[in-house]
Amino acid sequence: MAPKKGDDTKHDEYLKGIKHDGLRAVLAGVADRDPDQQEFLSAVHEVAKSLEPVFDKKPELLKALEVLCEPERQITFRVPWIDDKGEVQVNRGFRVQFSSALGPYKGGLRFREGVNLSIIKFLGFEQTFKNAITSLPMGSAKGGSDFEPKGKSSSEVQRFCQSFMTELHKYIGDRRDTPAGDIGVGPTEIGYLFGQYKRIAGVWNAALTGKGLGFGGSFIRPEATGYGVVFFAEAALKDRDDDLKDKRCVVSGSGNVASYCAMMLLRKGAKVLALSDSKGYVYVEDGLTEDQLKQVLEIKSNHNGSLEDFDGGKYVGDRAKPWEIDTEVDMAFPCATQNEVDEEDAKQLTQHGCKFLFEGANMPCTSSAVEHFEKEGVLYAPGKASNAGGVAVSWLEMVQNRSGLSWEEEEVESKLEEIMKGVYESAKSAAEEYDTNLAAGANIAGFLKVADAVMAEGAV
């Protein structure tokens, strides 16, 4: 069947770099449909560009991409809640169920000011290929709200979560769709959401992952994304007869992913020179100690905590980014948010000697930053491969819940390590087969798994 025709002459800028005619038409159709969804369109463009060699060999799979660019279902809903002054506040909730081709929908929830449909769709689209490359039977989804937990009391967060779940419960369940955490949604929020789910659904099932250890959570889920990035980096370095010992690393963020990425880097003998938050960064020339990292976790255990209160290193405020630190850097791990590494940041990193960049966050590097890294020969690993450890352990949590068992910490960690090595190998072998780089290899490996299922299940 011919691909959906969009008018590609209207989208010159968006289609820059795309040569394949059929692909241009599909992308123009996506841009026609949602011209204002910048984050989503940019994620689609990045994946599509790297799939050109696939469509040269297997043009029939273009139809699968067209199908995968449109979510199976997108739900937006009103979330009214009462603040501490007794006044009613209203936020908007989202759940975008992208693809169930490989299994029940799976993906996190983000609570943050400014969250909109474009951001949730970009995250859900990325999740599709991320979940596929793990080879675990998971579909993809993402959700959240423009509710900002920073500055709210814990009772306000609780009331918001209960109202959010009062609507969301209609669409989730352990064989249907299983949300987890993301920015602004940690164990506390998951606890409130899970409590409300049970209250309304009247059943105990693994409708959410990232639960507390005492009520169905898995060891290592809080650590999984950060640990997983480091396991991925270790596999990539091993392949180059190298290792993490004494590597000088810059990590951005200081939340869930960043802290545990830093923790595992320390365990591997690397040095963590900096961590950041949205207001600035801390820099320790010889690398943070384990006690200093624990201090960061303590500060950030409260939504309102700031690195300004960190005692031990140099603090730079004014929203400065850690990529600017004027010292030798071997590796960068952006673990905060999307578009936090732009071309200028990328140039600063390579001027300081950076040779490796592993994304802990989802799409933290802009496309021009990625182009710069590629030009400079930096090994660049996209989040949809290198941060897949979080969702992988979420799946292990679901398996434990279904079997009624609880595995030891070492067992979960070693399964996570094996899964991350497998993700690296899948990206690498697709890159070799299609004669491309690791980032494109990750897109190709994920896409082929989900596209084959889409076609086998009858795409239309």
Ligand X SMILES: NC(=O)C1=CN([C@@H]2O[C@H](COP(=O)(O)OP(=O)(O)OC[C@H]3O[C@@H](n4cnc5c(N)ncnc54)[C@H](O)[C@@H]3O)[C@@H](O)[C@H]2O)C=CC1
The closest of 293, 286, 333, 287 to 311, measured between CA atoms, is 293
The residue from 107, 143, 149, 382 that contacts ligand AKG (CB under 6 A) is: 107
Q: Is 386 in the site for ligand AKG (CB under 6 A)?
A: no
Question: What is the rounded distance in angstroms from the CA atom of residue 326 to the CA atom of residue 324?
Answer: 6
Q: Which of 49, 63, 142, 384 is catalytic?
A: 142
Q: Minimum distance from CB of 284 to ligand X (Å)?
A: 17
Q: What is each CA distance from 24 to 19, 42, 63, 227, 451, in whole angstroms?
A: 7, 14, 13, 38, 18
Q: Is 118 annotated as a binding residue?
A: no
Four-point Cα dihedral 199, 201, 207, 209, nearest 10: 0
Task: Say whether residue 336 binds ligand AKG (CB under 6 A).
Answer: no
Q: Is 127 annotated as a binding residue?
A: yes
Q: How many residues does the chain have?
A: 460
Restricting to residues 10-69, name those near ligand AKG by CB under 6 A. none
* Minimum CB distance to ligand AKG smaller for 161 or for 329: 161
Shorter beta-carbon distance to ligand X: residue 33 or 319 = 319
Among ligand AKG, ligand X, none, partner that 366 touches (CB below 5 to 8 angstroms by kind): none
Pick from ligand X, ligand AKG, none: which does 340 bind, CB < 5 to 8 A by kind?
A: ligand X
Considering only 20, 106, 271, 303, the residue that binds ligand AKG (CB under 6 A) is: 106
CB of 171 to ligand AKG, least distance (A): 15
384 catalytic per annotation: no
Give strand pairing partners of 428: none
Q: Rounded distance, CA 149 to CA 183, Å?
A: 10
The C-alpha atoms of residue 414 and residue 421 are separated, in whole angstroms, by 11
Type and span of the H or E element at 260: helix 256-267
- Using CB under 6 A as the binding rule, whether residue 209 contacts ligand AKG is answered as yes
Nearest by Cα to 3 from 34, 17, 24: 24
Residues engaged in binding ligand X (CB under 6 A): 108, 181-184, 186, 225, 252-258, 276-278, 300, 335-337, 340, 360-362, 387, 390
Query: Are residues 371 and 46 in contact, defined by beta-carbon separation less than 8 angstroms?
Result: no
Interface with ligand AKG, residue 93, by CB under 6 A: no
Helix (H, G, I), strand (E, B) or coil at 177: strand
- What is the β-pairing status of strands 177-180 and 105-111? parallel
Report in angstroms the alpha-carbon separations of 136 from 230, 258, 321: 20, 24, 35
Judged by CB under 6 A, does residue 162 bind ligand AKG? no
State the binding partner of 184 from ligand AKG, ligand X, none, CB within 5 to 8 A by kind: ligand X
Q: Considering CB distances under 5 to 8 angstroms, the limit depending on partner class, which of ligand X, ligand AKG, none binds residue 292?
A: none
The interface region with ligand AKG, picked from 15-23, 105-113, 270-278, 281-289 by CB under 6 A, is 105-113
Q: Which two tokens mark 378?
A: 């930096």
Q: Are 6 and 30 in contact (CB under 8 A)?
A: yes
Q: With binding defined as CB under 6 A, does residue 360 bind ligand AKG?
A: no
Q: Are 249 and 225 in contact (CB under 8 A)?
A: no
Q: Taking the complex as a whole, how short is the minimal distance between the CB of residue 311 and ligand X, in angstroms?
A: 17
Contacting ligand AKG within 285-324 (CB under 6 A): none
Q: Is 306 annotated as a binding residue?
A: no
Residues forming the site for ligand AKG (CB under 6 A):
106-108, 127, 130, 180, 182, 209, 362, 390-391, 394
List active site positions: 142
